[in-house]
Structure formats: structure tokens, C-alpha cells
Structure 1
């Protein structure tokens, strides 16, 4: 029996035309080019088929594929997940999914980003599909001039062969045993440096704290209008002192704009007399302002320190001369 790996082009086309995937993802994330609808359309408008989009299971066996009619777009991943979720065998199962730009897909599907911090992923690194693409790369030139049906037949044969290779490796746990042994040693070494009794409850507390830190970035506390008013009064006073020393036209322009802003705020809030720094309401708002600024700075420092420690820990796994180690060094320097 030949396994039907490919979704029909007609079904793909209908879904693509009916789905809106114009989102741009999270602002704080990297500006990925993949998944961009406008870029995808402009670069591939003259091609009938631009590539293959697909998936593998955690054992890296091929699962489901489709011909792409554009560049890489979110709509293909949504269609793929829709098909997988509607397979009868998967309806009562939890489906864990990894995708290299899942942070952009997040607004469409609720996915977690890091498999190491998600229950059920084990040692899955999410790179199985990349290893499959590496294997299929040699078929690119062969299939370039083929008819669509012959191309799909050849790729199906290649996927069946790849699946058989992966099937032979199922049940071989030597790598997992080695990793478990090394991990237990590393954990033991690190615990021995901590002057504290480590219990299962302690570890669970750490996991909850880590997840809260990594999965939800601390958002800056929003300032009240009183804090904004006091902050602008301080800026106004600072600019006034600078202008007395230096009659810079740019400083004078800034001072004039800020003076108008403060006057508008006073009018909106019904302030008939400008607050003085010795008044109770000024002092109270300034205290809150300072605490908020300190908290935001500490949150940013904590986030940077955690990122740096994580990158340094990853870098230890590679020799200094390796390309990946150099990339980690660059990331460490940028995070500093």
C-alpha cells in the first residue's frame, strides 16, 4: 500500500485563498522574513510550485506534505495542523508542535516556544524536519523539469525510503541513556555547590518560577497621570537650567514643546496652580515614579542576566573554534 503523503493542490489552493495570514507576530521578536505574506507574493509570483511544506513525527518519520504556491507563509502551517488535528487517531491525543517561526504563528494557534520547557517533548529538538530537507535537497534538480504527478510520485518514494530508514532506528536508546547519565552528573555537581537541601518541592518551585520568567516577559508598569506630570515637570526644570547655561535653539524648541504639553495636561486635569517639589502630592507622585523606574530597570537587568547565563551554558557544549560557539559569543556580547 502506497502512503498518500501529499495534500492535493486543489485543497491547498482553496484553503490558501480563504485564509487571512497577514499578521506580523510579536513586536519584541526577531523580524522573520519567513511567513511574510507580502514578501512571499512578490518574490514567487511567476512560479507554479515554489517548494514543499511538510511535517515529521517525533521519530522523524514523514507525516504530511503539500506543494507551496508561494514562499513560506503561515497559512501552510495552519492547514497542516488543521489536517493533523482532524485525523481520527489524534482526536483524543495531545498534539505537541514545533515550528521555527511559531512566535509569529502564536496569534493563530496557542503554542509554547521551547520544547525543553514543555511537558511531553522529551529530547525532541524540533530540527527533525530540517534533517529531512537535507536528505531531500538532492532531488531538487531531478524534479525541476518533471510533470506535477511524476514529481509527487518521486518525492513520495523518497519519503517512503526515508521513513524506512528512521523506522530501523526506533528502539535504540543509547544516546538517551548517555544524555541521562551526563545530565545526572551535571545536576549532582551543581547541587553540591548549593548550600541548601534540595527537595522535590524546591525543584517544582524553581520550574514554576522559571516558566513564569521565560514565558511571560515582565511588562513595564504603566505610569499614572500624576507620575507623568511630575516627570515632565522635572524635565522642564532640567531644560530650563540647561538653557540658562547654553542658548541652544534646539533646547529652546524642546522647552517650548514641553511647556505646551504640561499646560495641556494641567488644563485636562483641572490643575490651577503648578505643583511645587515641596508639596505632598508632588513628593508622593515622585516616590511612586522612582519605585516604578527602579522596578523596570531591575526587571530588564534580571532578564538580561538570565539570557546571558543561558547562552553561556549553551556555549560550554561546543569548542571555542566552532561556528556555533562563535555565534553564541556574538549573542552573549549583544546581550551584555
Structure 2
């Protein structure tokens, strides 16, 4: 095959279009017309299409379409990119957002020109019913009369806002024309189409089952016999469709109908506020999610201005080499500062929640959970409510207190009280538990401090969607979730406060009984302990630093310090005299030590050196030994308390009874301590252990009483 033939085979075949042609004699013919190669390929016409064209009378042949010369003006405009469309849409909404918000605010105010919807009524309207329609107002008289037999929830104008209120219903009668002596009025809780619960009195007759009478009123009974709850027919239909189409469980649907619009909370002035601080790293955001073209719609509803936070943390000096006396917590350790190859823009959230689980303030984390995050949020809380006493619960409150002292922020530390949440406190060592436990720090009552953890459990469900959003959309989405969470908590706040009050009463009763039993069991005590003694011990501040000073030799008098150095010098001299190896390496080390100690003694001496038998030397050593014995006694007390804490934890988690733990502690520990410290034989170890047990019982008693006083003085939680 020649080269030209191969080239002809490689060419693309020409495109043709079939046209129907009718000759003057009536013969039908089909002609192929070559189409320009730049035209799109058309679908081939079928025989049925050709036949239909003949039947419809479309017999005139059509000339082929000519391609128009391409020009820049005739071509359509290039399609805009997704980012341009998104920016244009957001700009269009931004222009109308303020107007739409203002219009919504105007609808929430009672117009001055509003009149009662009932014709002929001249009374001023005080009620608005959105269920009856938009801008429908009634006076008080007609509001009650009009809503009889209706599952509506009108709002009444009071104190500058509309507040929803249920209308007291007259008895409903399933069979109005049926008169029977067996009719009895019974209250039925009716759930309407919007999930609102109405208490409706219904006259039920004994001639028919209660379920049939409720169904005749388009109400589905909750139980087959003697129902007390009924659901509106339209609500049941809606739940069925949602379950089939959206595959949602019945519990999820009921939870969606559970919340109601929140009431207006009073602002906090004075008093106290218990808040819990913590961070979460499950709500990160990727850098690849894009940038924001507009600020968040919820400007600062919950989120603090991020630029102010970043500026503070950038200039804040983190304390380096801070001594971590507790466990190795990740909070405050900058463990999350290394970003994953620079792909994460925001690593998480840091926020504050009040003791009633109401969200307060939040901001984004750019790095790890630094100690400066808690410092900034505490400052913001104080600036927002300067006359309020703040009680702060933080996982590493012990490290935060040490940091504030080390950096000279004692003024900020004096305005707050710090404690560790109830479940995190067991990760700290016992000495830290005694200082920062919520049961031992005054003012925290029975707060567990884990409110923020319950909020994180709710927000973690949004992590899959928020990590792919822009920064502004992510803040708006989380704010919507926080508003929804607040509504749910307000709905259940009354029941929660009631449960906590009952729990406080039970704790108070139990602790009083334990305290009375502990005080009455002092049969072998030389000096029985009274409740007044324990209250005095509670008010006394513990000084662990002084105990450490006694043990290490600090805060000694100059004479005692000189006596200790002199005793060391004499001991070295005696060791040199006993050593017969004059040229040994050990002898050279001893000689250097003696020479160095002699130089130190010369600097401390102002007269002649004390001899080994001088009374002033022996008295100084005796006082030093007494200090050491007192230090040993304090160490025994610390060991006993720590042991008692561990045994109580074992009792709580392993079922060990309190009497066995106290018996084990009193017998085993007493034997070990008396063997090693014979000089403390006059101290009653049993009495000291009893003091510890009674002290803990009294602490629980006092703080349980504080919870009851706090609950009785407030009918509504104003501490948020």
C-alpha cells in the first residue's frame, strides 16, 4: 500500500447530514449533505422521525446551516470560577443582611398602630399569635376566647418583649351531642405539630374506649389503656415521613422537638460565678479549606476577637522549665505546637463554661494548649464582670497558680479561686488533691467542674464538617451549635437544679452522720476532739514550705547552722584519724573536704571555735535534732494523709469498706512509723488518723450546707 493510501486511511471520515427531498413527481429521496468539520456531530435521524416529518407536512427541503464566522463578540462570556461566584453571592447577601436583620427586629416589637384582630374591638392589643398568621394581634379578652380548642402558643407583650404563654383551655368534648353521666374530665398532655406540650382537659365517656375518643379528635394516644399523653395526628404523619425518608430514629426526632426559644436572662452584676476552662483539639480546620471572603455573621456572640488573642499570646512570655509537681498533663505543655506539615490552620478551641453548662466565651487555638490561653480567658472574664468573684476550674490549676506566682501576677491570682475538676483531681498527687480539690477549696460547693467536657462531647460531632469550612463559616457553624446547646440546657435547667439540691441534702445528711460517729468513737483518746477544733483547723492555712524547710535545714538560726557545719568538720577529722592509708586517693579527698570546711567555718566564726564539749555547741545540736523530729512528724502526717486518700479511692473503685481501710491504715502504718521513730512515742498515731478522718467528714458537711444555702437564696441561676 502506498504512502498516499495510508494517509487516506488515517483521515477522519467526513460528517454528513441527511435531508428529505421530494421530487415534483412525488418521489421521496434522502440526500447526504457534508457538514463542516468544526460543527458538532448530530444524532442520526431514525425512520420514524423521517416519516413523522412527512406526515406533519414538513416536505420543503431545508438548506444546510452555514457556520457563522467565529468572532470574540459572538462567543459566550467565559464561565466564572467557583471562588468568584461564591464571593459575588456573599457580597450580595452582605448588602441585604443589615436590612433583613433590622426588618426582623421590627417584627419582634409591638407596633404602635396595631389593633385587635376581632372586628369592633377597641381595646389595645397585648397578644400576638404567630400560629394564627403574620401580624395577628389580640387584646387579652379575645386572646383567651379565640384560642379555646386550639393548640396555639400566643406571645404576650411584657417588659419590652414578647413572652410565650399557654392559654388555659376549657374542657374538650369528643362527643358534644352525647350526654352521659359516665363522662369524666381528665387532663391529657397533648403534643402539637411543633412539639409543644399542652395540658388539655378532655371529657371522656365510659361508653367508648379512651383511645377511640382521642382518635376521633385526631389525637393519637400514647398508651393503649388509660392514656395520659396524646400526639397530634399531623405530628405523627410528619414523624413517619421523616423516619422513612431521612432514616432518623424516633429518639432523634423527639430530641429535635425538645428545645424551645430561651427566655431573656438577667445580666450578672456582683455575686460569684463558677466557670470551667478547657481546650479541645478535635475541632481543627485545614488550610486547604480556603479563605473567608466575609466576616462571620455571628460577630462576637461567643467567640472573642481572634486578633486580640493572637496579639496577647505572641507577646506573652511562657514560663520555661516550670516545675511540674503533678502528673504529666498535656495541657500547658505545648505538646500540640508542631503542626502536621503546616496543613492545619486552627488546631482546636479553648473556652469557658459556667457551672450550669451554659457556654460563655471561646477562641481558636493556633498552636497547643499553652498556659497563656487560660491567663487570657481569665482576664477577659474579669474584664467582662469586674465586680464578680470568679471561681475557676482548670485541669492544671496547680500549675496555673504556680505560673501566676512565678510571673508576678499576684493581683490577678487574688481575684480568682482555683481548683481542679473532680475527675481530673485523681490524676494529681495526694498533696495537690488536698490543696486544689473542689471539696476542700471554699466557694466551689459540690461543683464537679466537668461541664466543659460534656460540651466537648456534643461539639465533636461537628468535626467532620467544620474542618472543611472556611474560617468564617466554621465560626458560624460552631456558634449555631452553641446556641442550640444553650437552648437544650435551659430547657432542662430546672430539673438539673432540683436534682442537685436533692443530692446536696443527701450528702449533708450522710456527712453529719459520719461526723457524729467519728466524734463519738474517741473512747481511748487522751484529749477528745470537738467540732470547734476541726473548724479551727480548717481555717488555718497549711504551710508545706515550712515543713520542707525544716527537713532540708533552711530557716535555721546562725548558731544552729554553724553547729551543723562544725559537726561535719569534726566527723571528717575523726575519719582522717581512723584512716591509716596516708597516700590513698580517699585520703586526699578527705583532706580537701576538711580544708574547704575549715575555710567556711572561719567565715562564719566571730570568735574562738566551739569545742566538742562546749554547752553552747551541744545545745545547738539538740535544738537541731528537735527540729528534725518535728519535720519527721510532719512527714508522717503527710504520708498518712496520702495513704488515706489512696485507700478511699480503693474503697470507691474496688468496693473496700471504710472500716477495713481505716483498720488497715491504723495498724500497719502505726507499727511501721513507731518502729522507725521511737522518739515520737508520746504522739498518739491513732488520734492523728482519727483527726484526718473527722476532718474530711466535716469538710463535706460544710460544703454541702453551702450548696443548700446557695440554692435557697436563688430562684433562678443568676451566676451565668
| Band the TM-score falls in, shorter-chain normalisation | 0.7 to 0.9
Match of 2:593 among 241, 245, 258: 258
* SS of residue in 2 equivalent to 1:56: strand
CA contact (8 A) 1:191 1:198 kept: yes
Kept in 1, the 8 Å contact 2:331–2:395? The answer is no
For 2:538, the equivalent position in structure 1 comes to: 207
Q: State the shift of 1:96 in Å.
A: 1.0
Task: Normalising by structure 2, report the TM-score.
Answer: 0.40
CA apart distance, 1:208? 1.9
Displacement of 1:286 after TM fit? 1.2
Judge conservation of contact 1:226–1:285 (CA < 8 Å) in 2: yes
User: Does the alignment pair 1:131 with 2:461?
Assistant: no
> Does the residue aligned with 1:63 lie in a helix, a strand or coil?
strand
Aligned 8 A contact 1:232 1:258 in 2: no
Q: CA deviation at 1:157?
A: 2.4
Structure-2 change in CA distance of 1:9 and 1:218 (3 Å): same
Match of 2:316 among 7, 15, 19: 19
Within 5 Å, give how 1:162-177 maps onto structure 2. Answer: 162-167=485-490, 168-169=492-493, 170-173=496-499, 174-177=502-505
Partner of 1:183: 511
Separation in structure 2 between the aligned mates of residue 249 and residue 142 of structure 1, nearest angstrom: 76
Q: Which residue of 2 aligns with 1:220?
A: 549
Paired position in structure 2 for 1:103: 398
1:250 & 1:171 partners in 2: Cα distance?
Answer: 76
- Pairing partner for 1:269 from 572, 582, 604: 604
Cα distance in 2 between the residues matched to 1:102 and 1:24:
17
Higher relative contact order (CA 8 A, sep 6+): 1
Structure 1 pair 242–42 and aligned structure 2 pair: CA distance change class (3 A): farther
Task: For residue 652 of structure 2, give the secondary structure of its aligned residue in structure 1.
Answer: coil
Structure 2 CA distance for aligned equivalents of residues 43 and 267 of structure 1: 59
SS in 2 for 1:117: coil
Q: Tell me the alpha carbon deviations over residues 263-289 of structure 1, each in whole angstroms, 9 at most, x when there is no partner.
A: 121221346754321012321321222
Deviates more, 1:229-238 or 1:10-19: 229-238
Q: C-alpha separation between the residues in 1 aligned to 2:624 and 2:575?
A: 23
Deviations 1:55-100 (A, max 9, x none): 110112211111011101121111111111122xx33321111111
Deviation at 1:249, TM superposition (A): 6.0
> CA offset at residue 193 of structure 1?
1.9
User: In the alignment, which residue of structure 2 is the partner of 1:194?
Assistant: 522
Distance 1:125 1:28, change over 3 A: same
C-alpha distance in 2 between matches for 1:226 and 1:264: 17
Quick one: distance in 2 between partners of 1:317 and 1:44? 41
8 Å contact kept, 1:115–1:125: yes
Is the CA contact 2:347–2:366 (under 8 Å) kept in the aligned structure 1? yes
Moved more, 303-312 or 28-37: 28-37
- Show the 5 A alignment for 1:248-327: 251-252=586-587, 254-270=589-605, 274-319=609-654
Deviation at 1:30, TM superposition (A): 4.9
Q: Report the secondary structure of 2:350's partner residue.
A: strand
Counterparts of 1:230-249 in structure 2 under 5 Å?
230-241=563-574, 244=578
Q: Structure 2 matches for 1:145-156, cutoff 5 A? A: 145-156=468-479
Q: Distance in 1 between matches of 2:546 and 2:460?
A: 38
The correspondence for 1:93, drawn from 383, 388, 397, is: 388
Q: Distance in 2 between matches of 1:249 and 1:31?
A: 47
**C-alpha distance in 2, partners of 1:155/1:71?**
20
* Separation of aligned partners in 2, 1:135 and 1:20: 33
Measured against aligned partners, the alpha-carbon deviations of 1:166-205 in whole angstroms (never above 9, x if no partner) come to 3314432243333333333333332332354744x33421
1:305 is displaced (CA, Å) by: 1.6
CA distance in 2, matches of 1:157, 1:24: 40
CA RMSD of aligned residues (A): 3.4
Contact 1:26–1:103 (8 Å) recurs in 2 = no
Unaligned 5+ segments in structure 2 are 1-261, 263-297, 419-435, 657-668, 674-720
Structure 1 length as normaliser, TM-score? 0.79
CA–CA separation in structure 1 for the residues paired with 2:591 and 2:458? 65
1-structure distance, mates of 2:337, 2:510? 48
**Does residue 76 of the first structure (1) align with residue 404 of the second (2)?**
no
d(CA) in 1 for partners of 2:453, 2:580:
61
Asked whether the equivalents of residues 24 and 36 of structure 1 are also in contact (C-alpha less than 8 Å), the reply is no
Shift of 1:299: 1.9
5+ long unaligned stretches in structure 1: 322-332
**2:382–2:388 CA contact under 8 A, matched in 1:** no
Q: Work out the CA distance in 2 between the residues paired with 1:179 and 1:283.
A: 55
Cα 1:144/1:29, change in 2 over 3 Å: same
**Residue 330 of structure 1 corresponds to which residue in structure 2?**
none
